[in-house]
Amino acid sequence: MNHREIERWYRLKNVKNASQFLVVFFVVLLIAGFAVSRWARERSEPFETRNMPGSGIRIEKFSYSSPGAQPWELEAAEASISESLARVSLSRPRVVYRGGKGGEIHLSAASGTLDKKSSDVTFKGEVEIRLRDLTFRTDHISYSNEKHEAQTDSAISLEGTDVRVAGRGLKVFLEKEEAVIENDVDARIYNVKWVDSGGRIPM
């Protein structure tokens, strides 16, 4: 083997060693990159999935049935439950109460708050209560589950087939299926026949 062949052999050997080094280097780099990527993903997942402090739990199509002798059903488009699980903020709540005489009282609102401990509910915005053929409207009302009563001090309106009433303050007694407008009552009654003095208006 002459000098040129020896030099050529050394060059081929160096090229081979360099190629092997590059292959090993890229394999190590690929493995390291995969490990770093997986570590970063595992580190970031808890922050993406956990509930941040104060945010509670959000539930779509929330439903709730109250305990007790006169149960009622509540549904909401969305609910946000506090971290203590004691308070529920409601979006577009709808409630069906069953009266003591077998009738139903329907209530809907823009928003509301449910106290899980007492089962009391507060409704706000676009509050509408339907009792028989009467519809009451107000901007705020609270329901006491212990008393089976709903009440508000806000302005209210009442519409029926032949009656329009405005006033302030309302109490709804579920067991009696009765409602009382308390103050500043302004009523208009339609399609009523005239009666003699002391007579009773037919309703």
Give domain status of residue 194, yes or no.
no
One domain for residues 170 and 84: yes
Q: Can you read off the two tokens belonging to residue 29?
A: 């780099």
Whether the predicted pLDDT of 79 surpasses 60: yes
What global pTM score does this model have?
A: 0.65
Q: What is the pLDDT of residues 43-52, one digit of tens each?
A: 333 323 234 3
Give domain status of residue 146, yes or no.
yes
Whether the predicted pLDDT of 28 surpasses 60: no
Confidence class for position 171, pLDDT limits 50, 70, 90: very high
One domain for residues 43 and 86: no
Which 3-state string (H, E, C) describes 82-108? CCCCCEEEEECCEEEEECCCCCEEEEE
Tell which residue, 69, 76, 93, has the closest CA to residue 142: 93
**Number of structural domains in the chain:** 2
Domain that holds residue 112: 57-189
